[in-house]
Structure 1
Amino acid sequence: MVYNSNFNVSVTKKEVVAAALPLQEHYLPHSNLDLLLPPVDVGVFLCYQKPAAASDQATTDEHYATFGSMVNTLKAALSEALVSFYALAGEVEQNLAGEPELICNNRGVDFIQAFADVELRKLNLYNPDDSVEGKLVPKKKHGVLAVQATELKCGGIVVACTFDHRVADAYSTNMFLVSWSEIAQSKIPSQQPCFRRSFLFPRRPGHYDLSVANMYVPISSLPLPEPAGVEEPLISRIYCVTAEQIRHLQSQANDYSKKDVTKVEAFCAFLWKTVASGKSRRNFKNFRLGIVVDGRTRLSSGDENKAKSFKGYFGNVLSIPFGEKTIEELSENPLTWVASAVHEFLEEAVTREHFLGLIDWVEAHRPEPAVAKVYACSGDGAALVVSSGQRFPVRKIDFGWGKPAFGSYHFPWGGQSGYVMPMPSPKGNGDWIVYMHLQKEEVELIETYASHVFKPFTSDHLNFD
């Protein structure tokens, strides 16, 4: 397959979509866990085939009418969805303490229509830097959410969104995407969002374990940045990992004298060890691995009513525990040892007490902004963060013209730490789609030493009916 990376995207219309019903303007404070997020945006995009109802013999006018009807469906459903998900139609401002705060004013969502002169099969999804970045996923210039609907040359459509991470984590984003698609099909949304910030209020008096202080750090306590040097740019790639390879990794990583490690733990251990084994020891001594943990089920543990509400909680409920080992340790020890290290540092953050302590830790340091310590590496260390996207409901996001042929998050976040997001394949066969944003050297290491696991994404992996 010859891919087309030089295609053009032309914007045909820009407008603002607001909630269908009026909203009383009000402020929604960020929770203490929201305050741990820097001002970064996260993208997600979904690729759909040409609808079956659209005839191949359609005239040009009819072809555009088909795209027009899809756009009208998207906009009408979005307007209705924003009634419940009103936070996405607002704006983030600074309050008097200098902290971000959400003003729910129904400012609306920027909605872009575009045309790309490329067929879905010829999109080079393996290299989203060429095919997606700046083309199919919109840059958010205002508000909390931006949407772009792009018609493809083949009659397919790409629906992409960019969210302010300070307002929504991946769980919240997924909930919105499913509700939006359900409304588009005239269904009652299966989950209503909950903005009850009291769930994440600090305790009085607050208290936290030292392990929390080892995971997060006030920005003011970080050393001054060294003079800017020539930093290697990070690049994005998308891979497919088969279900068979995932099971094999889990089998290799398990130490049967202890508790079995999960598939995600085994995957993270393999990735940590693979990248470390090829790192130049002249440049790096230590290597940190962080794993994003969702706290919703942990915080509601043992409380059935709270669990029901937390299932719909909209906002950030995340922690990033991490482990730090030397390059030598990761290179020379077996995968079972690395997997055990992953399991060990994760154990500290999968409890209710950890998240309650994290909320209290933020309260004790407000209004001083803080950052996850995994990102605050010294000059002799590197860092990699894995954010599990296994709950990405790609197969559920059907706006009325079929399930996606492909879907992925897109997060070239701008820092120097690597970011990896494994997600389920839209085929529903147990395969994983893995988005990576890493240093070029790290990508080359993965493709050199782990090419049997990470297969570059091709059109053969698309979920065509």
Structure 2
Amino acid sequence: MALPPGKPEVISREMVRPSTATPDRHRIHHLSFFDQLFPSIYVPLLYFYLNHETRNSIAADVVRDNKTRVLKLSLSEALSTYYPLAGRMGDDDPLTVHCNDEGALFLQARTNSELHAALNHPDAGVRDEFRKLLFPDDLCYKSTSCSRPLAVQVTSFECGGIALGICVSHKFLDMFSFCSFISYWAAIAAASSLGHSNIKLHPLEFTLATLYPPFDLPPPVNKTVVKKPRKDVRYVVNRFVFGASSIAKLKAIVGIGRVENPTRVELVLALLCSCAISAASSSKGRGVVLIQAVNLRRRMMSPPPPARSVGNLSSVFAMSIADDMVEDLALFVSMLRRAKTGYFSSCAAESVGINRFLDFIMKTVKEYRDASKEEEAAAAKVYPCSSWCGFPLYEADFGWGKPVWVTAADFDEATDMVLLDTRDGHGIEAVVSLEEHEMAALLRDQKLLAFARINPVVDPVIIR
């Protein structure tokens, strides 16, 4: 597939190190039990920003250079606080991070494309291929073993707009911690643009390993929550966007009496999963399991973690999907709510003792591992899902306004679903990866097409 003119070209690459050296007392960072369970893959997000300053070509060059300089200097300062992101995993101990200030990878790229032309190209496939080039070194969802925990690519467009591709290791941060880091980095950059020097930051805690020490588990533990890519299967990724009006219609269909105030995520996830299952002829006669990632920070945990804890405080729960749920959306939403409520109730009950709580979490992770093994043996079909809705992704203002669009990278190596907020905060964008023949059937499903737009362009009125 031919790319549009203006393929991004990397013009510089360097390591950005913390602006101040990490003190000796922080040189070793221990990973927690939850860090231990999460995979060594990058979580990739892409932020698009408009140029609100000038359209003059010479002045636009100055604007681009200034933005890159501000991003680089502010990242250096942010890494002084988030120092593990500038370190490296220990070769001898996979649960230890050497905070040696080696730094984060920082790439600068340029394209002679206009931002609106790149995002609104009439061919969705071309748009997708172009977006992949906006991430550093094709690191999306790749292993971070023996690599850097953080990589950034800043791509400048002809119009002065920029794309900020960020890949951070899931071994270090969950989405809460990721957003905290981005917010801090953005605050430093914005203050620099305004000529301010002091940034108020609530004290961070890098002490989760003390509260939740790692278990003695046989290696490689990080494979317990990641599905192995199948080389014999081609996967296809599409974006499904559900606007606020579509979600309101789904809510009306589910009915007020059957599920009390269903959430956007419950409605969209139930519809997507039911349609994906219907599209998968290979799932006939096999068990079907939904695996959903969950945020534990707001749940009852004893002792409670510090509010500003950095690291992973997330887990997963498994839910078996019966045939009648696929045909009845209200039933699917009801069972999803029941499974989620039951999981969190168990978390609260087991959190009275740290060992009981961690044993319970290990049990849920084992359910995921067992389901994945059954899928490899063709005995089950597994649908993993992560929801990043509700996180302040669109609040990242580096001094030139909030992003016009935030999206995830395409993950075309396994079945996967990632849900994000739309820009207005009321809709949901779902990035879905399925086997090629399943995706083809899904794109013909009128039940889904009645509510979702497939690979829509970003609002041209907004980005012109």
Q: Give the TM bin, normalised by the shorter chain.
A: 0.7 to 0.9
Q: What is the aligned partner in structure 2 of residue 236 from structure 1?
A: 237
Letter in 1 for 2:384: V
**Matches of 1:299 and 1:63, distance apart in 2:** 51
Q: What is the aligned partner in structure 2 of residue 41 from structure 1?
A: 42
Structure 1: state its 5+ residue gaps: 207-216
Go from structure 1 to structure 2 and tell me whether the alpha carbon gap of 1:33 and 1:219 turns closer, same or farther (over 3 Å shift).
closer
**Matches of 1:220 and 1:393, distance apart in 2:** 28
Given candidates 338, 341, 344, the residue that maps to 1:344 is 338
Kindly indicate whether the alpha-carbon contact (under 8 Å) linking 2:172 and 2:312 is maintained by their aligned counterparts in 1.
yes
Q: What is the aligned partner in structure 2 of residue 209 from structure 1?
A: none
**Matches of 2:42 and 2:321, distance apart in 1:** 30
Q: Give the match's secondary structure for 1:80.
A: helix
**Matches of 1:6 and 1:19, distance apart in 2:** 36
Go from structure 1 to structure 2 and tell me whether the alpha carbon gap of 1:401 and 1:23 turns closer, same or farther (over 3 Å shift).
same
Go from structure 1 to structure 2 and tell me whether the alpha carbon gap of 1:281 and 1:143 turns closer, same or farther (over 3 Å shift).
closer
Answering whether residue 463 of structure 2 is matched by residue 452 of structure 1, we say: no
> May I ask how many residue pairs the two structures share in their alignment?
430
Compare 346-355 and 356-365 and name the one that shifted more. Answer: 356-365
Kindly indicate which of the two structures has a greater share of residues assigned to helix. Answer: 2
Given candidates 151, 166, 171, the residue that maps to 2:156 is 151
Kindly indicate whether the alpha-carbon contact (under 8 Å) linking 2:37 and 2:221 is maintained by their aligned counterparts in 1.
no
Given candidates 119, 133, 141, the residue that maps to 2:114 is 119
**How many percent identity over aligned positions?**
20
- Aligned runs of 1:98-109 on 2, under 5 Å? 99-109=94-104
**Matches of 2:310 and 2:349, distance apart in 1:** 21
Deviation at 1:381, TM superposition (A): 2.1
Letter in 2 for 1:107: E
Deviation at 1:260, TM superposition (A): 4.2
**Matches of 2:438 and 2:363, distance apart in 1:** 37
Kindly indicate whether the alpha-carbon contact (under 8 Å) linking 2:17 and 2:102 is maintained by their aligned counterparts in 1.
yes
Kindly indicate whether the alpha-carbon contact (under 8 Å) linking 1:394 and 1:407 is maintained by their aligned counterparts in 2.
yes
Kindly indicate whether the alpha-carbon contact (under 8 Å) linking 1:10 and 1:114 is maintained by their aligned counterparts in 2.
yes
Q: What is the aligned partner in structure 2 of residue 178 from structure 1?
A: 183
Letter in 2 for 1:175: S
Q: Give the match's secondary structure for 1:64.
A: helix
Answering whether residue 315 of structure 2 is matched by residue 315 of structure 1, we say: no
Deviation at 1:348, TM superposition (A): 2.9
Q: What is the aligned partner in structure 1 of residue 53 from structure 2?
A: 53
Q: What is the aligned partner in structure 2 of residue 390 from structure 1?
A: 389
Letter in 2 for 1:67: R
Deviation at 1:176, TM superposition (A): 0.7
Q: What is the aligned partner in structure 1 of residue 271 from structure 2?
A: 270
**Matches of 1:230 and 1:144, distance apart in 2:** 26
Deviation at 1:196, TM superposition (A): 1.5
Kindly indicate whether the alpha-carbon contact (under 8 Å) linking 1:138 and 1:162 is maintained by their aligned counterparts in 2.
no
Deviation at 1:148, TM superposition (A): 0.5
Letter in 1 for 2:60: H
Deviation at 1:75, TM superposition (A): 0.8
Deviations 1:249-307 (A, max 9, x none): 23323562564432222222111111112221576622211111100111458x8xx46
Go from structure 1 to structure 2 and tell me whether the alpha carbon gap of 1:300 and 1:461 turns closer, same or farther (over 3 Å shift).
farther
Kindly indicate whether the alpha-carbon contact (under 8 Å) linking 2:39 and 2:171 is maintained by their aligned counterparts in 1.
yes
Go from structure 1 to structure 2 and tell me whether the alpha carbon gap of 1:201 and 1:66 turns closer, same or farther (over 3 Å shift).
same
Kindly indicate whether the alpha-carbon contact (under 8 Å) linking 1:183 and 1:189 is maintained by their aligned counterparts in 2.
no
CA-based RMSD:
3.5
Given candidates 185, 195, 199, the residue that maps to 1:188 is 199
**Matches of 1:36 and 1:413, distance apart in 2:** 23
Go from structure 1 to structure 2 and tell me whether the alpha carbon gap of 1:183 and 1:409 turns closer, same or farther (over 3 Å shift).
same
> Normalized against structure 1, the TM-score is what?
0.82
